[in-house]
Structure 1
Amino acid sequence: MRKLMFLAVMFAAALAAQAVAAASVPTASVPTESVPAPSNGIEYPAGWQDWAAIGVAHRTDNDTVRLIVGNDVAVKAARAGQINPWPDGAVLGKVVWKVVPLDAWAEANVPGELVHAEFMFKDSKKYASTYGWGWGRWLGMEQKPFDKGAESCTSCHTPVQDRDWVFTHPAVFPK
């Protein structure tokens, strides 16, 4: 129960952080020019900051919280439970922050410094050599491309190969 409460608080905090960031981050700290692509040529998805939430995750090994968002194709699939496999055209985004304590409530943790934003692009033909997914990651507020290659992504995702290489468990939303 405590873990469920923690995840609920983290989900609410992540959604609030997303809304606050969209409303209050000075434009000077957000990339204004085209964000460079990593060496694999994956394009930075414009407008992802307005995508809907699919789920949240908290990693205890590196004390980060993640808000998982999706484009319209991904959100529709997640809400319908059609995620194994995810449909072609789905794009999943994971926004990762370091966890920090909320100064007004010692029992709560909230997103702190942005670590990175990463994306998975489902196209079973185009990305056949990487299990149907294109992988891209951009680091920090500068959104500097992470150039370690798709094999660094797929090697970490091996434990979920039977879930179409996706760790995300979509949150259940009330109707």
Structure 2
Amino acid sequence: MKRSFFVLALALNTFPCHADPAAAPPAPNGITLPKDYQNWRLLGVSQRTENGTLRAILGNDKAIEAARSGQTHPWPDGAMLAKVAWKQKSHDKFATAVVPGEYVHTDLMVKDAAKYAATGGWGFARWLGDKFTPYGQDAQFAQECLGCHGAAKDADWVFTTPAKLP
């Protein structure tokens, strides 16, 4: 776990994207990808074994403050979480290490209990691939997100457990 955490943290600063995320169009529900999300701090990491992806979960200042103080049940309004996903691959010089490969997508969750009451108090968005193509045909795509996040309803709809730093 420690090795994966280090590798993902390093990748955030060195792994190139092919398009400018700041130019990403808004999601169908109007949520925009914050221009500075790549500078947010690391909250946690995850690996999805069923689809072979590694993910770095980043938080804006509000989310980091909430996580560090244990105030995530519920997360405060204004907290934003970005999940950056890559296909996993073996390191070319260290075969037992798993590292980020091809960029897959960036997800965003925006906490605003009143504005997003219909989706558990969270606004959801996703941008796919190197062109940062917004996911979903219309604003109703967020119901799909909520359906998946239903398994984490008791954690304010958030799967991420913030990593405790030593």
Interval of TM-score (by shorter of Structure 1 and Structure 2): over 0.9
Query: Using a 3 Å threshold, how does the CA distance of structure 1 residues 124 and 15 change in structure 2: closer, same or farther?
Result: same
C-alpha contact (below 8 Å) 2:22/2:33 kept by paired residues: no
Aligned position for 2:40: 51
Aligned position for 1:100: 89
Tell me the CA shift for residue 33 of structure 1: 6.0
Tell me the CA shift for residue 37 of structure 1: 1.0
Aligned position for 1:159: 151
Aligned position for 1:18: 12
| 1:82-101 to 2 correspondences below 5 Å | 82-101=71-90
For 2:97 and 2:22, locate their aligned partners in 1 and report how far apart those are by CA, in whole Å: 36
Amino acid corresponding to residue 143 of structure 2 in structure 1: E
| 1:1-175 to 2 correspondences below 5 Å | 7-21=1-15, 25=16, 29-31=18-20, 34-147=23-136, 149-174=141-166
Give me the TM-score of the superposition, normalised by structure 2.
Answer: 0.94
Deviations along 1:81-130, one digit per CA (max 9) or x if unpaired, are 11110000000000000100001111110000011000000000111111
Amino acid corresponding to residue 164 of structure 2 in structure 1: V
Question: Residue 107 of structure 1: SS of its match in structure 2?
Answer: coil
Question: Residue 12 of structure 2: SS of its match in structure 1?
Answer: helix
Task: Identify unmatched segments of 5+ residues in structure 1.
Answer: 1-6
Task: Identify unmatched segments of 5+ residues in structure 2.
Answer: none
